[in-house]
Structure 1
Amino acid sequence: MTIQEPVTARPAGRPRSEKAERAIIEATLDLVGDGMGVAELSIEAIASRAGVGKTTIYRRWSNKEELVADALATLKAPLPPLGGESVRDDLITLLRAMREDKGRSRTRCVMNVMMSDADRYPALMERFQKVAIEPRKEAMREVLRRGIRTGELRADLEVEMGLAILSGTMIWYTKWAPPGDLPADLPERIVDHVLPGFAA
């Protein structure tokens, strides 16, 4: 998953193959999902699994940390469209997206492996935060800021605290709650418990 340059800025040469990129991403996720840590993962192994040459990978990513971060980012569902009609509705939409991310077995497996290597690969975590986590955090921040502007939420609400309470509660349930299916209405329940403390 790389940021495509405008066609006018791309240097001469063969165009990037979306099929090759998809194969590289899938190979990376397969290897990590099979339990291979970042330390053991190699560009050679990824190239072999994807059926491409190493140079095909290096044309897209400068190192394996960038590749792993971008591959993991593809496991995140696209940010859902927000209606903008109420803070409650938009927060529920964002928490539903978090719930769906955590509900995928492949996502859980790969994320657990990545987190075990986080301290050893700060550049990987930094890139993953930038491409996958920060856009979602900013979306929730903007919903809270909008609520403050419209008077739905308290003028003195600490946006970062609100973000931490909402997302942290969802993460707790998806990671630490007893085994079993999460309640379908969990996002609504979280938001409805929290909003009275946020409301103007």
Structure 2
Amino acid sequence: MTESKPTARRTAETDESRPGAARPGRPRSERAEKAILDATVDLLAEESGVDGVSMEAVAARAGVAKTTIYRRWPNKEALIVDALGALKGPLPELPGTGVRDDLLTLARYMSVERGLKASRCFWNVVGGAEKYPELYERYRQDVMLPRREVYLDVLRRGVERGEVRRDVDVNVAVAMLVGAFAYHKPPDPLPDGFGEQLVDTILRGISTD
């Protein structure tokens, strides 16, 4: 008598345990991770902000088991940081043809990236910095500072090429650039051509021309 094969359980956990199994489309583990990150962002963007994000709430909204979340993230702070990092995504490739071109590329991207959901998440984390200092510090270290280094590198290259004055404090210049976007808190719209005006205004003060 032929022994019948056990029926495979249709869960994210089952597919993840079969790394060589063929799967149509996106692997189930990747779909589960995306659903978890999307659910975290949705919850974080709501009025309750960080307080509204819990492993239980994320699991319910993403349609996964809590154990699926805990296998990837030890706590909600780590989950929120990864979700925000995925929401922002990588910065665009810079043309490298000059400090103005590079700064304009970054400024235009920041203008587009400033979507309502992304901005609400950012402000909810910043607004909760006093209550959740470890979360804010992790977000600053893992998301904000690496992106800030990209802006700093643009200005440092500008100094090396003689486009930016050597006496300029590049940290202050980056704070002016990024801070100008933060000044316009959503849902306030950015003025037309804001990125170009901002870059040209800053360059008038720091360039060698």
- The normalised TM-score by structure 1 is 0.83
> Residue 87 of structure 2: SS of its match in structure 1?
coil
Structure 1: which 5+ residue stretches go unaligned?
1-11
Residue 99 of structure 1 pairs with residue 111 of structure 2: yes
Residue in structure 2 matching 1:182, options 190, 193, 197: 190
Shift of 1:157: 1.2
Deviations 1:111-163 (A, max 9, x none): 23222211121221122123321122101100100011111111111111111
Map 1:116-195; keep pairs closer than 5 Å: 116-172=127-183, 174-175=184-185, 179=188, 181-195=189-203
RMSD of the TM alignment (CA)? 2.1
Matched residue type, 1:188:
E
Partner SS state of residue 175, structure 1:
coil
CA distance in structure 2 between the aligned counterparts of 1:169 and 1:23, rounded to whole angstroms: 33
Query: What is the 5 A alignment of 1:78-117?
Result: 78-102=90-114, 104-117=115-128
Q: TM-score, normalised by structure 2?
A: 0.80
The letter for the 1-side match of 2:120 is C
Q: State the structure with more CA Rg.
A: 2
2:178 & 2:49 partners in 1: Cα distance? 27
Contact 2:49 2:121 in 1 (8 A): no
The number of equivalent residue pairs is: 185
- Identity percentage of aligned residues: 46
Post-superposition, which runs of at least 4 consecutive aligned residues in structure 1 deviate over 4 A? Answer: 12-16
More displaced stretch, 26-35 vs 157-166: 26-35
Which structure has more RCO (C-alpha within 8 Å, separation ≥ 6)? 1
